[in-house]
Chain A
Amino acid sequence: DTEVTQTPKHLVMGMTNKKSLKCEQHMGHRAMYWYKQKAKKPPELMFVYSYEKLSINESVPSRFSPECPNSSLLNLHLHALQPEDSALYLCASRGAVGARGELFFGEGSRLTVL
């Protein structure tokens, strides 16, 4: 099983809503990532969890709140978002510690903020 599964695939929310994005992997990977991607742009790193601890936060606004309940699951809690937060949110995992391993990406969650 080499999949990273993201749910939901599509999400529409108002600026006052609270919602969550979910990511799951069963490859035994110990690093998990959240990226934000705008159209025709490369993914922008948001957060990295290593061994279930937050190791990198790329100065992301607090309206985005990550959570890693266990080594297979990664959540992104969303609250009071702005229309400019509309984007494709990608989860990825990486097995190897350090430089040699590739990222395995999910299909993404397409978020629209009204």
Chain B
Amino acid sequence: AQSVTQLDSHVSVSEGTPVLLRCNYSSSYSPSLFWYVQHPNKGLQLLLKYTSAATLVKGINGFEAEFKKSETSFHLTKPSAHMSDAAEYFCVVSDRVDYKLSFGAGTTVTVRA
């Protein structure tokens, strides 16, 4: 069975400061991990993915994440937040069992000017 825990329901940062969104996962198999962003009344957009290649993954808009198997974590970071980063972020895990993917509860990011 697979599951995801996003450790922060809400993160507030100032524009230009770093962003850290934390995600821990549980999986019986070698997982794939994804971060998605959702702006209000929009669909989910893929930021980045880990699929068993390099453990440090770079994504769009300056985001990156590091897969740490020993800590079962996949935290998302960005060195400098922009106002347009204000959105909902979901960490997602998938393993080999079937077509299901498990979503975390989401982290709401607000960016202060």
Residues on A lying within 8 angstroms of B by beta carbon are 4, 6, 31, 33, 40-43, 45, 48, 50, 55-56, 88, 90, 92, 94, 98-108, 110
Inter-subunit contact B45/A50 (CB<8 Å): no
A-B interface pairs (CB < 8 A), number: 65
The complex places the Cα of A99 from the Cα of B103 at a distance, in Å, of: 14
Inter-subunit contact B104/A42 (CB<8 Å): yes
The complex places the Cα of A22 from the Cα of B16 at a distance, in Å, of: 41
Q: Decide if the interface of chain A is mainly helix, strand, loop or mixed.
A: strand
Q: In angstroms, how far is the closest chain A Cβ from the Cβ of B25?
A: 13
Q: Does chain A have a CB within 8 A of B98?
A: yes
Inter-subunit contact A107/B29 (CB<8 Å): no
Q: Interface size for chain B: under 10, 10 to 19, 20 to 34, or 35 or more residues? A: 20 to 34
Q: A42-B90, A42-B105, A99-B29 are in contact. Are A105 and B45 (CB under 8 A)?
A: yes
Inter-subunit contact A99/B42 (CB<8 Å): no
B43's partner among A40, A98, A101, A108 (CB-CB below 8 A) is A108
| Nearest A residue (CB) for B9 | A40
The complex places the Cα of A106 from the Cα of B42 at a distance, in Å, of: 8
Q: In angstroms, how far is the closest chain B Cβ from the Cβ of A104?
A: 8
Inter-subunit contact B32/A99 (CB<8 Å): yes
Inter-subunit contact B103/A40 (CB<8 Å): no
The complex places the Cα of A105 from the Cα of B37 at a distance, in Å, of: 11
